[in-house]
Structure 1
Amino acid sequence: MASVEHCLYCFEALAAHLEGRKSMSLAEVQKSWAEYLASTAPEDDDDDLGKRLPALRRLAAASSSSASASSSSTSSTTSLQQSASSGVSTPATSISSTPPPVQPAVTESPLFVTWNTISPRHGHNLRGCIGTFEAQELDEGLSSYALTSALHDTRFSPITLRELPSLEVAVTLLTNFEDADDAMDWELGKHGLRISFYYHGRRYGATYLPDVATEQGWTKEETLVSLMRKAGWVGRKDKWAEVELKVVRYQGKREELEYAEFKRWRDWLTAASSRE
């Protein structure tokens, strides 16, 4: 699934491009984020530590050549699996004493990168969203689509350096693609939709990610009509069901991050580098 590190990496790719510097790699971001969490975790704050556990597990797995009998033997930077006995002290309710099975690392996936602006007055507003249904190596794919969605979404002007503090990024990794039996064979809040259809001899197509319909408060019918409009359909709203739609449903594992968290991590990284 998408992770905080994936979001940090998108911010890093965009910030580096706008600042004219070399971007860190995804692996470097993952390693640095784990070290950041380990160095800033309050010793006595169990709730906060619980939230930081996934990255701490990765750090413990990466820095230890062996683990105790009650810990899992290995952990990848993306599978997030390591038992509490690897050196991280946690309350009994935070993690089971029996290590869960190690999941395979996600190294490639279809993906979308979404940029939003956030303001106290206007809330969240879309600033760019572009992705691909073709599986991408995450290191290359995330950085590429972070820039494409920020700079080349034709609905918006390119994002500028001064806008960075107002941004939020969301990464969605797409899974479980299935042909729907009909236009209504999907669930609100669970499935994203990819539709295609012909109208007056012309082919149309568009997609909505899984969170769009629920964020807008749409019904399934309203979602389909809006998606057809997005594709360019100009027929009568009450005639939408007469159009033969091909619907592919899919699921998305989404994570989001605001600039403030990215900035805290970058400031820590700069300070840590200066001490070396």
Structure 2
Amino acid sequence: MASVDHCLYCFEALASHLEKRRGFSLLEVQKSWREHVKALAGDGSIGSSFSKKQLPAFRRVADPSSDTGSASSGSSMSLSTDTPATSVESLPDAADMTEEEDGEEDEEEEDDDEIVTEFPLFVTWNTISRRSGHRSLRGCIGTFEAQELDSGLSEYALTSALHDTRFPPVDSDELPDLEVAVTLLTDFEECDSAMDWTLGVHGVRISFTYHGRRYGATYLPDVPVEQEWTKEETLVSLMRKAGWMGRKDRWRDVDLKVVRYKGKKVSLEYAEYRKWYDWAQANAKTKRGKSA
């Protein structure tokens, strides 16, 4: 599932692109992140007296009772109802869609053949107001085609930040105000009916034909909860987003094909990324000095 190192990697992909430097690979980020966590544990920065301010992203992953990043939570985003976090453009072909829109390490690692490295995914960027803390959507693009995480996360981190046609491209001055969220999608199932899914648990992808034209759209699991929509409101909103202009009270007359899926979202703010990046750079210099 999505994790802090995935978010770090998305920030690193965007920052290195804007700063015109070589970025860390996903493997390098994951290795450095593990070392960073060990270093913090070693100097007492994390543990039973762990402070939220020291490393909030690590706390969200370490604390299983936290609902941040959970597909069943509304997340910490507070977006206008005019701009749902994962609203997407019309999808002409639902079968081939790419949308805009532990405090301790586990002692036992999963077997290599059980580790899944490909997922459908979405990368979302939000801008956080320095004054109010309010989050506003800055870009969200993803795909339902499984992607290798190394290439897929970096590609969609850049695409959602630079090529979401609803917004101008992100520039380097904006980095300090950004938050990234990664959602990896799993458990796709065809619904028996339009209502055969659970609010806050499932994302919904719809497709339908109306007056000879094909339509499609999706919302990730957190969107209806954040917008405080009912299931019916969610479906009507999806149909509108797809481009359907029929009467709202006649939506049930349309033969909807609905696919439900799950996706756990993890988010990370730039300040948290920067703490890790500065540590990673300093740690790399220390290692080079010792080997010289």
TM-score clears 0.5: yes
Which stretch of structure 1 is more off in the superposition, 143-152 or 233-242?
Answer: 233-242
Partners of 1:55 and 1:205 lie apart in 2 by 42
The ranges of structure 1 where at least 4 consecutive aligned residues each deviate by more than 6 angstroms after the TM superposition are none
**Following TM superposition, by how much is the alpha carbon of 1:105 offset from its aligned partner in structure 2, in angstroms?**
2.0
Tell me how large the CA RMSD over aligned residues is. Answer: 2.2
Identity %: 64
Partner residue in 2 for 1:12: 12
Structure 1 unaligned residues grouped into runs of 5+: 59-70, 80-101
The question of whether the paired residues in 1 share the 8 Å contact of 2:47 and 2:103 is answered with: no
Q: What is the aligned partner in structure 2 of residue 63 from structure 1?
A: none
**Once the 2 structures are TM-superposed, how far is the Cα of residue 47 of structure 1 from its aligned partner?**
4.8
CA distance in 2, matches of 1:24, 1:122: 29
Q: Is the radius of gyration larger for structure 1 or structure 2?
A: 1
2-structure distance, mates of 1:264, 1:219 = 40
CA pair 270-122 structure 1, distance change in 2 beyond 3 A? closer
Q: Quick one: higher RCO (CA 8 Å, sep 6+), 1 or 2?
A: 2
Q: 1:64 corresponds to which residue?
A: none
Partner residue of 2:152?
A: 141
Secondary structure, aligned partner of 1:48: coil
- For residue 199 of structure 1, report the CA deviation from its aligned partner: 1.4
Q: Please, what TM-score do these two structures have when normalized by structure 1?
A: 0.81
Aligned residue pair count: 238
Residue 105 (structure 2) aligns with: 57
Pick the aligned partner of 2:124 from 89, 109, 114.
114
- In the alignment, what sits opposite 2:238? 227
Answer yes or no: is the 8 Å Cα contact 1:34–1:56 preserved in 2: no
Provide structure 2 residue ranges, at least 5 long, that are not aligned to the other structure. Answer: 52-57, 63-101
Residue equivalent to 2:266: 255
| Superposition map of 1:92-111 within 5 A | 104-111=114-121
Post-superposition CA distance 1:85-129 (Å, at most 9, x none): xxxxxxxxxxxxxxxxx9932311111111111114361111111
SS in 2 for 1:46: coil
Alpha-carbon shift at residue 224 of structure 1 (Å): 0.5
- For residues 162-211 of structure 1, the C-alpha deviation after alignment (integer angstroms, 9 at most, x for no partner) is 11111111110100000001111100000001101111211110000000
Answering whether residue 33 of structure 2 is matched by residue 33 of structure 1, we say yes
Q: Compute the displacement of 1:35 (Å).
A: 0.8
TM value normalised by structure 2? 0.76
Whole-Å separation in 1 of the counterparts to 2:152 and 2:26: 11
